[in-house]
Amino acid sequence: MCSSDLSGGRCNSYWGDRSLWERCLTQGSTRLGAAAYNANFLIVQSEDSIVMLHEQIHEARVIPIGNKPHVGSSVRQWMGDSRARWDGDTLVIDTTNFTDKTNFNGSAENLHMIERISRVDANTLGYVVTFEDPTTWTQSWTVDLPMPKTQGEMYEYACHEGNYGLHGILEIGRAHV
């Protein structure tokens, strides 16, 4: 049972009620806003894959390049199933198969993302992403963001070191149930 007057609409008595991000597992989907805290990216390409490493919550998307089909619709993943291809100088990433635990602006398992990344100049990537989910939005919508080259190093994101926030949330939530 959830006490909504204390929870702001979210349950506090069970760890599974908390978001995947609060539990330091994943943010899922894409991170918009290159200027956000710990928003550094490292993008590496091999012969058959792209790896997009995100500093926050230590996430790495390993994305096959080429004509490989998406995995079957019964296979669901927190960050979806991504496939990449080159369209001239633009990397196009098509992502489907999110889980029902993915939460991006109210969208979950029906989210479909199409990302386009291109070099604008020596210090900037152009990042355009289109979101589709007919069960959440009446039409697709697109965000176009410049991603400036970051200065400095990427660091390990140690989300759980000394993190007593979740423990405190659950302890107080359980005391009021």
Please say if the pLDDT value at position 90 is more than 70: yes
Average pLDDT over residues 52-73: 87
Residue by residue, DSSP assigns 105-168 as: TTB-TT-EEEEEEEEEETTEEEEEEEEE-TTT-SS-EEEEEEEEPPPS------SSTT--HHHH
pLDDT score of 39: 72
Cα dist from 13 to 120, 166, 173, whole Å: 48, 11, 5
Higher pLDDT, 41 or 35: 41
Top-confidence range, 19-23, 57-61, 161-165: 57-61
Select the more confidently predicted residue: 17 or 107: 107
Output the pLDDT for position 58. 73
